[in-house]
Amino acid sequence: MRFGLFCLPAQCPGHHRSATETYAALIGSAVEAEQLGLHSIWFAEHHFSPYGGFIPSIPVLGAAVAANTERIRIGSAATVLPLRDAVETAESFAMLDVLSGGRLDVGVGRGFLPGEFAGRGVLMSDRAGLFTEGLSVLRGAWADGPFTFRGEHYRLDGVEVLPKPVQRPGPPLWIAASTSRDSFERAGREGLNLMVNPYNRTTEELAAGLAWYREARRAAGLAPDGGRILANQHLFVAATEAQARDLPAQALMEYLGAVDAAFGRPLTPHDYADMYPDNVLFGTPDTVIAKIRQWERLGITDLSLMTQFGSLAPELSSASLQMFARKVLPCFA
Residue 225 confidence (pLDDT): 94
279 φ/ψ angles, rounded to the nearest 5 degrees: -105, 15
H or E stretch covering 218? helix 203-219
Residue 183 confidence (pLDDT): 93
Residue 20 confidence (pLDDT): 96
Q: How would residue 265 be classed by pLDDT, with cut points 50, 70 and 90?
A: confident
pLDDT single digits (tens) 77-110 = 999 999 999 999 999 999 999 999 999 999 999 9
Q: Cβ atoms within 10 A of the Cβ of 127, count?
A: 20
Q: How would residue 270 be classed by pLDDT, with cut points 50, 70 and 90?
A: confident
Task: Calculate what percentage of the chain has a pLDDT beyond 90.
Answer: 89
Q: Cβ atoms within 10 A of the Cβ of 70, count?
A: 10
Q: How would residue 203 be classed by pLDDT, with cut points 50, 70 and 90?
A: confident
CA distance 133 to 255: 33
Q: How would residue 284 be classed by pLDDT, with cut points 50, 70 and 90?
A: very high
Q: How would residue 198 be classed by pLDDT, with cut points 50, 70 and 90?
A: confident
CA distance 21 to 24: 5
Please report the DSSP string for 275-333 in residue order: HTTTTSEEE-HHHHHHHHHHHHHHT--EEEEE---TT--HHHHHHHHHHHHHHTGGGG-
pLDDT at residue 250 greater than cutoff 80: yes
Please report the DSSP string for 81-128 in residue order: GGGS-HHHHHHHHHHHHHHTTS-EEEEEE----HHHHHHHT--GGGHH
Nearest Cα residue to 7 out of 282, 234, 198: 234
262 φ/ψ angles, rounded to the nearest 5 degrees: -70, -35
pTM of the predicted protein model: 0.96
- Residue 48's identity, in one-letter code, is F
Q: What CATH topology corresponds to 2-332?
A: TIM Barrel (3.20.20)
Q: Are 23 and 64 in contact (CB under 8 A)?
A: yes
Q: Cβ atoms within 10 A of the Cβ of 317, count?
A: 21
Q: How would residue 32 be classed by pLDDT, with cut points 50, 70 and 90?
A: very high
Q: How would residue 122 be classed by pLDDT, with cut points 50, 70 and 90?
A: very high
pLDDT single digits (tens) 211-249 = 999 999 999 999 999 999 999 999 999 999 999 999 999
Mean pLDDT over residues 125-153, rounded?
96
pLDDT at residue 70 greater than cutoff 80: yes
Residue 11 confidence (pLDDT): 83
pLDDT single digits (tens) 172-194 = 999 999 878 999 999 999 999 99
H or E stretch covering 233? strand 229-237
Mean pLDDT over residues 1-6, rounded?
98
Q: Which residues are registered as beta bridge partners of 306?
A: 234
Residue 308 confidence (pLDDT): 95
pLDDT at residue 37 greater than cutoff 80: yes
Q: How would residue 201 be classed by pLDDT, with cut points 50, 70 and 90?
A: confident
* Max intra-chain CA distance, the chain: 61
Residue 267 confidence (pLDDT): 79
Nearest Cα residue to 295 out of 239, 230, 241: 230
Please report the DSSP string for 138-193 in residue order: HHHHHSSS-EEEE-SS-EEEEE--SSPPSSSS-S-EEEEESS-HHHHHHHHHTT-E
